[in-house]
Amino acid sequence: MKRLASSILLLYIVLLAVFTMSIIVVHLIPRDVIEPQFQRSVKVFAQEGDYPYKSSIFGQVVVDNYTDCYMHNVAYCADAAHPVDAAMRNYRYRDDASMIVSINHLASGDTVCEPFEYGKYWHGYQVFLRPLLTVMDYASIRRLNGIMLAILLLMALFLMIRQLSMGVAGCFVVSLIVVHSAVVPWSLQFSTCYYIMLVSVVALLAFNGLTASWRRLMLCFFAIGAATAFFDFLTTPIMTLGVPLTVMALKHDNVGRWRSLFALCAMWLLGYGLMWASKWLMAYLLVGYNPLEEVSESVQLHSIGRGSKPVWAYWLKLFTLLIDRWMPFMVQGLVRWGIVAILAIPAMLWSRGRPALNRYGGLLLIAMLTPLWFVVVAHHSYTHFFITSRSLLVCWFASLCFLYKMIDFNKLKSHVFNINK
């Protein structure tokens, strides 16, 4: 235990130092270097609007240009003459107009007020966004985003097929499709947790040394949680826990036990919470900025919201949104029921029995991570459901893998053979 605690402390210090230095370094980039690309990006936002629709397999899906616009806003407002202050305070500009109009005012210099702090987040995405803006605009970044996500996905699928099974890889693909992942490359905001999740899956499967001991695996999940807190803008963080956890539970027998799952979840949560709180500490130590009042308001808003509505009212609203997606008289509902039935019926008729249930039952606990996250962060999950709904990837992937692993394919083949005979 002492060795694990000292390893966690050392890893935390290293990650905090790397994250802090990297966010400061990218704020050394002068504004005039990103100016031309920023101006072209503003035109894209103005043309598409805050929430344009993009095509997915299940129809039209909303894309969050509003937050991407915000991310560009923060990138442009940074003062390279004071990189530490800019990195810790994370200035943004907003006047009485809409976000896109505000960023147009910012680009044209027609501002009516001063930028203000937005330092409750690390804004780690700036580590990539600001350097990219030196050479390409938003439209080009989107194309690069699609290429990079596709490469990571192919690598993850290859490793799943090689080390787990073709069926598990298929379950992952189906899960990605059902939660409308096809539109993710269009949005930088949507993409962050997909990158962390895919990189984590690739690393855990490709480098056996990372999982050679229980201590190393614990440290991996601590690092994943910390990276999520640094890079993510509070979108679908539970995805970076649930998907790698499912992969590890399938690969290693001992990980699927409830105590092991609890321990790895605790390590992820420790890394996530500790790294997020470290931003507030670093901001205070380095520039004297204290965002705790803003953080307190944000925690209350994202969990129970404002106004007179009790928290259970948001749980009910979320439940209603989820039920609507499963209505059997709608195409999307029929497809979802059909996907489940394809695996659930064979799993019931030709089950591998209690041994498989004992081995893979932990996957059902992993599937419950998303509902648990929705319960804890109720207001945010409901208000931004067009974003947070992709957290259901964890439910789908873990549940489908459980059903797949419960099927005794020898019995199924024998039954089909006898029917054909």
Residue 171 CA to residue 158 CA, distance in Å, equals: 13
Task: Sketch the domain layout of the chain as residue ranges.
Answer: 2-412
pTM over 0.75: yes
Whether pLDDT at 361 is above 70: yes
pLDDT band at 297 (very low <50, low <70, confident <90, very high): low
- Average pLDDT on 25-29 reads 96
In degrees rounded to 5, what are phi and psi of residue 53? -105, 140
Percent of the chain with pLDDT over 90: 56
Computed from CA positions of residues 202, 206, 210, 211, in that sequence, does the dihedral angle turn out positive or negative? positive
Q: Which residue has the higher pLDDT, 294 or 248?
A: 248
Whether pLDDT at 421 is above 60: no
Amino acid 323: pLDDT: 79
Residue 131 CA to residue 80 CA, distance in Å, equals: 13
Neighbour tally for 185: CB within 10 Å: 21
Whether pLDDT at 108 is above 50: yes
- Average pLDDT on 280-298 reads 79
Amino acid 18: pLDDT: 97
- Average pLDDT on 147-169 reads 96
Q: pLDDT, tens digit, for every residue of 170-197?
A: 999 999 999 989 899 999 999 999 999 9
Averaged confidence pLDDT in the chain: 88
Neighbour tally for 285: CB within 10 Å: 10
Residue 294 CA to residue 356 CA, distance in Å, equals: 48
Residue 118 CA to residue 417 CA, distance in Å, equals: 64
Q: Among 351-355, 364-368, 395-399, where is mean pLDDT lowest?
A: 351-355
Pairs from 165-172 (Cβ < 8 Å, separation ≥ 24) = 167/404, 168/250, 168/401, 168/404, 171/397, 171/400, 171/401, 171/404, 172/243, 172/397
**Residue 220 burial by Cβ neighbours in a 10 Å radius (0-12, 13-18, 19+):** buried
